Structure 1
Amino acid sequence: MTKRVRTRLLIILGVTALSIALFAGFPPSRAKMGEKIKLGLDLRGGTHLVLEVVTDDAIRAETDQAIESLRQLLARENIVFRQLTRSQNNELKAVGVDPAKDTDFRRILSERMTEWDLVSTAGEVPNTYTLRLKPQQDQTFREQSVDQAMNTIRNRIDQLGVGEVVIQKHGGPGQNEILVQLPGMDDPARVKNIMQSTALLELKLVESGPFPNQAAAAQAHGGVIPANLEVLPSVERDLPSSQEGSFYVVQRVASISGRDLKGAYPSRDQNGRPAVSFNLSADGAQRFGRVTEENVGKMLAIVLDGRIQSAPRINSRITDSGIITGGPTGFAPQAAQDLALVLRSGALPASIKYLQEQVVGPSLGADSIRAGLLAAAVALVSVVVFMLFYYRLSGVNATVAMILNLLILLGAMAYFGATLTLPGIAGIILTIGVGIDSNVLIFERIREELHAGKTAVSAVITSFSRVFITLVDTHLAALISATFLFLFGTGPVKGFAVTLVIGLISNMFTAVFVSRTLFEWVLSRKDRAEAISI
């Protein structure tokens, strides 16, 4: 055996040992293999959800925030106006602006409201200005709301301790969809509730209330609720029975929102009942202090997802903290923990709705594993039998290369943390076929060289040299296709693409390096140097 062959054999043995250690541990065991190979939702069981982010909610929130900012700017410049209101999701109106301050008003719009276009100066009331969010900015806000929703959902699920979660964008441009896969999740209902809860905390000043119904609330304001106010339902459970299911008229624009939250945690109210306390950021605390100081004696509604949780009266200036109570019995302990969790991980920028839900049970996942392994075993045995029958002892060469290809594939998946899915098993089976196809190309070329009268050593060297370019071309073409599948495919398709990419790369090593080394090792033996079984 030459030094070159010995070195190549040592490399092959090293790669084999490393691959086995990566996916089965050292010493190898089935338990370690289960830990290192991550199973996808279809094999392990779990929940598959497709969500849609209602981005109109985010645009409405941006418009409301712009109204509040413009209100502060106009007050600072002493510009009198009759009303600031949202006319559409992406449109606001400044009604009755002081004509003498028209130049100053337009200057504020051009300098400070750069994300908005002035689309109209006409209206029922003179000096009415209509602003509309620029289309490019509108699209940016919608994309940001989807990204923020993904991060918020990921934060919430991570705090639940659910491992190997898949959260990614789904669908085409403009669809605003999110794919969520929760392998092994045994309580999908709780996760759905936590994900779907917008958890938008708002502190709004109460104008009037409580009222028994919305009609009574409107009647108290002359039959029509002003544009700067809104009617919200109350879920307070410590009201007198005559006021249960009541409504309040509150300011439309929140004084403080969930964006100003610094933290939230389960706590107890003054009667020792489960509640949720929250802290505000420095900026939020400063504004909260100013609002409470200016409105001592008024009621402040604590609004969560559009429902008033409580409406305490402001007795003095409050700065950086508050508490959300849960009625006479308080929150359930689990409910308090979940509410603190969703508040702490951030409010969703918009509401979400479920478009698709699939639940895969653990038994069905186990059945899929058995079926996939059976298919792979049948494919492997069939190919081995064919290669041994058709190429005789050279079929052993192809079998060794194919098995090493699979070991490298599994080791690489364990190392990179790739998830094995049912389509991924199909990719493994396809890798077996690709690997054997490479060996068939090489073996047929060797046969042609032997029929041309060359010696076994010369035939092997010539065949591997001439087939190499063909193998590179075919594998590169397949790699390009698999890469696009990974970039643009959904979860199951990506699982197939991952195993195919790794299998193609490892197959180039086994077909060219391993197979050739085995031939050279056989031919280096003196009594077999001039013969080859193929």
Structure 2
Amino acid sequence: MLQFPVWKKVLIAVIAVLGVLYALPNVTGKWAPSDDYPTWAPGKPMSLGLDLRGGAHMLVQVRTQDVVKERLGATADGLRIELRNAKVRASSFESDPDTLTISFSIRNVEDADATRQAIRDAAPEYDLTPLGDTRFRLTLPEDEVRALNDRTMAQSLEVVTRRVNAMGLTEPTIQRQGLDRILIQVPGLEDTAALKQILNAQARLTFHLVDFDKLPSAIQTNRAPPGYELMPSIEENADGTPERMYLVTKQVFVSGENLTNAQATFQQGQPVISFSFDSVGAQRFGKVTQENVGGFLAAVLDGKVVSAPRIQTAILGGNGVITGSFTLMKAQETALLLRAGALPAQMDTIEERTVGPGLGQDSIDAGSLASLIGLIAVVVFMAAYYGRFGIYANIALLLNLTLIIGLLSALGATLTLPGIAGIVLTVGMAVDANVLIFERIREETGLGRTVMNAVEAGYSRALTTIVDSNLTTLIAAVLLYSFGAGPIRGFAVTLAIGIVTSMFTAIMVTRLFVVMYIRSKRPDVLPIAAKPAKSTSGEA
């Protein structure tokens, strides 16, 4: 245990220097020369969390039940088409989102087998229950509903993350909570209006063919022909009514799911949105424009027609432009939403609050004061109780704090108030290993061992206890991180890092100082008061 090869000394020196380099920007400020500066290189301080820096906190609920309702409606529409193709007359279609069922009737009993085959083709995942000879009920299984909700939440989380990141906000925290909620925390954001506007926009882009010939009669009767629907324009009159109506096909020829890019640009001095499709979208877009030259193609955003230009020629390159009465800001905002993708369901704000930076500064001051008091108390105790060895432990403690801050900075971690609590706890725990070692050395000295043997035995026999105690705490930190969320994870990260660094500084750094002292000074008595050995002799 007292042998220190050169490579170990070099390793300790390199780790200490790296720790100082990574931790220094938290004192001096950021020194990264440019945005192209490598993210792994030192020069960037830790980011402060919402409770320290202030910012916006939002908890939103995703309307997963709407997706289930749409699924039932889409299944019913598909089933109608299958039954029509099978020449089965069906009627009385009813969808009930509460019971997750679709029911319908057929006219002829002889079509029952064809009906069952149509159901197997259109809705194989549904459970079929006959209600007599001509009435059928389809039930969506619970496991399918759970899978659909999980997909909806995963897609919503991805879209929200892309939208918030596209706003250029710093270190946002976006995570799922419970079955249908998403937590959004954005440090440094004082106004949540823009964030809410971005989050609440559906941004569903679809392309439909337009029929202007049938439009007057559809408007007059307020009823669209089969296969069509009336849609308002995105422009509105002063009283909030749409400027015009369009008769568009229900069939979606191309959707925003196939978009690869969308940018705000200018065309003839007016803001427009240019877009590009992937290979699948380009093929579909090219086909619909090629087959409908001279017709009109409507770009529909969230159920409103943005524009419906005439198709002058086939557009085969997969690129196009959406024109409309856009302002530059509106065009940029819409392009951002299109790039991020459409939300599968609307979201409702459950909780919203803003944390002021003053409260965060108070938390920093309180945490700093607690850390400083704890550090001073530990340093004074170790120096007074263990003398020179206590000073070595204090140097290792300061290095330990430096390594913790350096590692948090290198990992790009966000420091929160529970994280500060973890650091404060680490200050007290960091000297625990040294206390075990020093007490073991003191006991060995009291048993009459020489200086070299006492130090050797102290380190070797205390090592097992040190590893066991720190390992159990590390397991607890890992479990807290795995099953916790938000502040609990911040505490677990700093606690786990503190355990690792404290073991390194106690077992390696302090031991290096002790070995260097013994080999250079060769003392006859260690600067630790030895406990007298207990007498084992009895009276005669």
Q: TM-score range by the shorter chain?
A: 0.7 to 0.9
Instruction: Report what 1:157 is aligned to.
Output: 164
Instruction: Report what 1:43 is aligned to.
Output: 52
- Runs of 5+ consecutive residues of structure 2 not aligned to the other structure: 32-41, 530-540
Deviations 1:400-457 (A, max 9, x none): 1211211222222222222222211111111111112222222222222222222232
C-alpha root-mean-square deviation of aligned residues, in Å? 4.0
Once the two structures are overlaid, the 10-residue window that deviates more, 86-95 or 399-408, is: 86-95
> In 2 relative to 1, CA 68–254 (structure 1 residues): closer, same or farther, beyond 3 Å?
farther
> In 2 relative to 1, CA 10–298 (structure 1 residues): closer, same or farther, beyond 3 Å?
closer
Once the two structures are overlaid, the 10-residue window that deviates more, 102-111 or 456-465, is: 102-111
Identity %: 36
> In 2 relative to 1, CA 530–284 (structure 1 residues): closer, same or farther, beyond 3 Å?
closer
> In 2 relative to 1, CA 156–244 (structure 1 residues): closer, same or farther, beyond 3 Å?
closer
Instruction: Report what 2:149 is aligned to.
Output: 142
> In 2 relative to 1, CA 220–49 (structure 1 residues): closer, same or farther, beyond 3 Å?
closer
Amino acid at match of 2:139: R
Alignment of 1:510-529 (within 5 A): 510-529=505-524
Q: Return the alpha-carbon distance in structure 2 between the equivalents of residues 321 and 100 of structure 1.
A: 51
Deviations 1:186-229 (A, max 9, x none): 55321221122121234567898799xxxx999856xxx99998
Pick aligned residue for 2:197 from 193, 196, 199: 193
Amino acid at match of 1:20: V
1:456 touches 1:532 (CA, 8 Å); kept in 2?
no
Instruction: Report what 2:137 is aligned to.
Output: 130
1:515 offset after TM fit, Å? 2.0
1:486 touches 1:493 (CA, 8 Å); kept in 2?
yes
1:5 touches 1:521 (CA, 8 Å); kept in 2?
no
> In 2 relative to 1, CA 344–392 (structure 1 residues): closer, same or farther, beyond 3 Å?
same
> In 2 relative to 1, CA 4–323 (structure 1 residues): closer, same or farther, beyond 3 Å?
closer
1:368 offset after TM fit, Å? 2.8
Pair 1:415 & 2:410 matched: yes
Instruction: Report what 2:181 is aligned to.
Output: 177
| Structure 1 length-normalised TM | 0.81
> In 2 relative to 1, CA 278–131 (structure 1 residues): closer, same or farther, beyond 3 Å?
farther
Pair 1:446 & 2:453 matched: no
Pair 1:110 & 2:120 matched: yes
1:230 offset after TM fit, Å? 7.8
Deviations 1:13-70 (A, max 9, x none): 22211211233379x9443487232322222332222222111122223333334444
Q: Return the alpha-carbon distance in structure 2 between the equivalents of residues 129 and 298 of structure 1.
A: 41
Alignment of 1:249-288 (within 5 A): 257-267=255-265, 273-276=270-273, 278=275
> In 2 relative to 1, CA 258–458 (structure 1 residues): closer, same or farther, beyond 3 Å?
same
Instruction: Report what 2:63 is aligned to.
Output: 54
Q: Return the alpha-carbon distance in structure 1 between the equivalents of residues 75 and 181 of structure 2.
A: 26
Once the two structures are overlaid, the 10-residue window that deviates more, 153-162 or 297-306, is: 297-306
1:41 touches 1:183 (CA, 8 Å); kept in 2?
yes
Amino acid at match of 2:477: A
Alignment of 1:80-91 (within 5 A): 80-82=89-91, 86-88=95-97, 90-91=100-101
| Count of matched residue pairs | 513
Q: Return the alpha-carbon distance in structure 2 between the equivalents of residues 436 and 25 of structure 1.
A: 26
1:85 touches 1:228 (CA, 8 Å); kept in 2?
no
> In 2 relative to 1, CA 66–532 (structure 1 residues): closer, same or farther, beyond 3 Å?
same
Q: Return the alpha-carbon distance in structure 2 between the equivalents of residues 65 and 377 of structure 1.
A: 63
1:401 touches 1:511 (CA, 8 Å); kept in 2?
yes
Pair 1:388 & 2:362 matched: no
1:116 offset after TM fit, Å? 1.8
1:132 offset after TM fit, Å? 2.5
1:375 offset after TM fit, Å? 2.0
Once the two structures are overlaid, the 10-residue window that deviates more, 134-143 or 511-520, is: 511-520
